Every structure is written in structure tokens, then in C-alpha cells.
Amino acid sequence: MKPPTGNPAPGYKKYPDHRIETKPAKERVRVTFNGEVIADTRDAIRMEEGNYPAVFYFPRKDVKMERLMRSSHRTHCPFKGDAAYFSLVNGPENAVWSYEQPYDEMSVIKERLAFYPDKVDVSSA
């Protein structure tokens, strides 16, 4: 784990028992849209948080970034930080998110991209 940068997640002060588990996916993970491969990696981070389905975070080098367009949409998570969003060019809006400056506890997902499985097809094998 990297040393803290003085950017701790405020959510843990209010909810100290909240758990987010991140680990290497150890499997190939792909994202497709209308049959086109948008992302393909063996270097994904698998995140499990509470009762939510697992989410895969992809390194940008394994994503066709030219197929993404940054949107103005933003959200905030008290455990992860501020999320920026991307839409697929000629595809669904805000289908992808990224924590570009996450809190210290989530530095492992910094600059990685995650995809909404209800907007694209995410598969692992």
C-alpha cells in the first residue's frame, strides 16, 4: 500500500465498519458494446463493496480511449472520492466512471475506468 498523502476518506469517520475490498481480478475481463471490444485486460482490479455487485476497474492502457468522450457528469463517494464520467462515442451516456484523484484508501483504482454493466457488456473468464 502506498503511504498516505493526507487525503483520507471522510466516510470512514462516520461509518468505520464500512468495507471495500480490492484485489487483482486474476482473470481476463472484457467490455463490449454492440459486439465491439471497448476494453480487454488481464490487469483489472475487482472491487467488492457491501451488497453491490463486484465492479472491475480497468487500466486505461487496456481501454480504447478514443471510443470515450468525457462528460460533465460528476458524483461523489465519501469512501472513494469524486468520480468523473465518460460516454461512449455513438453509444450510451455516462457509461464509464473513473476516480482520478481518489482518497488514500482507494489509491489502487486511481485513473482506472469502470463500466456500468447495464449500459455495456462486461464479461470475465
pLDDT digits (tens, 9 = 90+) for 72-100: 999 999 999 999 999 999 999 999 999 99
Q: Which CATH number fits domain 22-124: 2.170.150.40, 3.40.50.1100, 3.40.718.10, 1.10.3720.10?
A: 2.170.150.40
pLDDT digits (tens, 9 = 90+) for 12-70: 999 999 999 999 999 999 999 999 999 999 999 999 998 999 999 999 999 999 999 99
- Answer positive or negative: Cα dihedral of 124, 21, 80, 45: negative
Q: Assign 60 to helix, strand or coil.
A: helix
Q: Is the pLDDT of residue 5 over 80?
A: no
Give the predicted TM-score (pTM) of the model.
Answer: 0.93
Exposure pattern of 20-52 as b/e (b: 16+ CB <10 Å)? bebeebeeebbbebeeeebbebeebbbbebeee
Per the CB < 8 A criterion, the answer to whether 82 and 97 are in contact is no
20-24 and 81-88 as β-strands: parallel, antiparallel, unpaired?
Answer: unpaired
Dihedral angle over CA of 70, 73, 77, 82, nearest 10 = 50
